[in-house]
Each structure stands twice: as C-alpha cells, then as structure tokens.
Structure 1
C-alpha cells in the first residue's frame, strides 16, 4: 500500500502522508505518492491540491534511515536528494493552488513541503522548524531559498542557524502560515477554503498564481545544492579543517 492516501473531496485532491509510525518521513515511496498527487491536477475537475499528514506529524522531514543507507552509494544518494528537491519545485509550479493543512510537526523536509505550498493553515498543536542544523545537516530541498521569501531574511537566518522550533501561533505571527485553527477544525476549515478557491474563475486563478507566487532563482537553488553536496562529501571522510 502507498504511504500517501489520495482522496478526492469535491474539486480538491487531498494527499495524506500515512507513515505515522515514522513521523510521516518523506522517503522514495512518499515522493512517488506525492508525484501521483501532483499529476492529478491534470484532471480539469481538480481545482485545488491539499497536502496533510496522519497523526501528530505533517512531515518530520526526509527519511533519514533511507538517506543514511545510501551513504555508501553516492549516485543513489544524489538521486534521492535531487528527487526531493525536484518534488518541492514541482509543487511550487503546480497548475492549481496548493494548500498545506499542517496537522502536526513540520520539520526539515516537512517544512520544505509546507513552504512549497501556496497557502498553509496550521492546527493549534502544530510545530514548525527547519531543524537541519540540530541533526548536523544542511538543507537540500529549499529551506535556504524559500524560508527568507516567507518570513524575511532575519527570521529565516535565526530559524536555520539555531534549529529552534516555532509554535503554530508564532508561525502565523511570522507569516509562515496564514492562520491557525483548532485541531479538530483543520480538515473542515481547509475543505471550505479549497471550495472557495475552486469556485473562482480557473483561468484567472492560473494567472494569479503566476504573479502571486514568490520569485526564487536558479542560482539560489544551485548554491543550496552545492553546499549540500559539499556537506555530504565531508561526512564520508574525516574533516581536515
């Protein structure tokens, strides 16, 4: 069974990451499920894509067990990391609006999936943070590119460098999520929001996405990838500095 459950709710196609025992970590099988979710936007009846998680996590990050198991196979590890980066960029370029229904913890790669979406609504118990530095890692799926666009350079640097986490309320105050609702109301609230968006003129919505989405640059993405490649290579040998 796929660890991503796809559900059609009227004009919205929901993807629910269902690996609660692993914090909904994003491994290759989750990426495959999310790629299928994105492909669903080709259906003209799908006007909105919604991403959420099962249990207490939205997504706790990339699947470190899978990534660590690839350390001895650099090409395979690079392919895994590149696939995640490509997935985030594909979400950002989706043909229809995307909503993150942040039901719980969103750390590392989970934060990057949140950042990829056009709108993020958080449950009151949700917690968010980059957290790469806390694990001795650096971002690879876009935190360094997208976080400053979402919350400003100063707040982004603090979150990236300290590894601290924000409550849902702090994330809303910083502009990382648009609003916070009670846990029990999250699904219904996002479903209503998706319905409101779906009722709008689809051609106008597509054009609005073109001007409303924050602009990033290939250079910024390349800098993040180069830094990650350097960090991964350094982990494979003793540091000399």
Structure 2
C-alpha cells in the first residue's frame, strides 16, 4: 500500500505542476495579448511564463486554445454588458451605455478587439456566448429603432467597425491622451441618432473635451516611432 500511496503522490505533484504552468501561461498570455493583440509571438508568452515553448504547446496545442482560455472571462463580461443594456427600459439609453462599456473594455487590451471581430468555431461554448451576445445586441438595435431613437440604417455589422475605429484611437493615443476614445465614441453615437423634425435625437452625454495640441503631438510622435521600428517580432 505504501508504494501505491507514493505513486499517487508523484502523480498529484505532476498534476499540480501542470496546473501551475497552465495558470502562469494564461496570465502571461493575458499580458502579452493585451499589449500586442492575439497574434503576438507565443515565444514571448512562454518567456514571461518562464516555461519552454514545448510546455506551452502541451497545455495549449493551438493559438485558439490559448486565446479562448485567456478571454473566457472577458467574453462573460461582454455578455453581461449586453444583458444590462437589454434590461434598460429606454432602449436608446441602453444602446448608448452599451457602446461606451464595450469600448471601455478595449482600453489597455488590444486582444479584446481581435476576439470580438473574429470567430472561433471549434470552441462551441465560447463561440455560442459570442453569438448570443451579438444576437442580443441585434435585439437592442431593433428596439431602439422601433422607438425612433436609432437611425434605421444602423446594422449589427456596424459594431465591429466601431470597435476597430476605437481600437485605432486607443492604440494611437496611448498614454498621451488616454481618454480621447470617449470623444470618438460620443461623436459616433451622435451620428447613430435618428433624425427628427427638430434635428438629431439627443445623446446620452455631452461631447468630452478634445485632446490638447500637446497630447496630439505626443501621440503622433509615438505612432511615428512605432512605425520606424518596423513590423512586430516574428513568432
């Protein structure tokens, strides 16, 4: 019996080590994907997790395995944002707040935009939640249009356009003007408002302040420096 217990102990130790490695890889990937997007080099993920690349691939055989593990909680938060917006009695207010919340989720996380504008058909539960959230957003769009608040030609496919535009501002402005995205989103929400006899429907909030000339200059210098460094590292 002593030998059996010893074997179980070794197995438990190996499983514990494997789980620790898995958690370290997920946390490292969360950081790297947030900084560089989900196409970031996996070698960098392994380096930060302090594991070999072979260990990373044993735990996560494909990039999508790792991506869906990292963003499972973000997808749940995204779904919750849709549900909160859907529960808002005023569908236009729910629409406005939802767009602001989702765009806020992009700040500091380049990977989120990648995940929201791609599909992961092999991962059924992950993809099902993403699709359910988009369907719920579609329902919200319909309700806001039926209320006469959202322009009739807005479609669900406009959401990825908004996210990609916002991602560009978030990335380009960086810490030079970290709140500049709010002005962009408010501008776009105003553009989405339905026209009435009195003019466009009022938006949920006034237009935030524009970045200062100094902030814009810093952001442009940052973009130029990034372009001078050339494309990202190979995987």
TM-score under structure 1 length normalisation = 0.28
The structure carrying a bigger strand percent of its residues is 1
Q: Highest CA radius of gyration, 1 or 2? A: 2
Query: Quick check: which one's helix share is greater?
Result: 2
Q: TM-score, normalised by structure 2?
A: 0.28
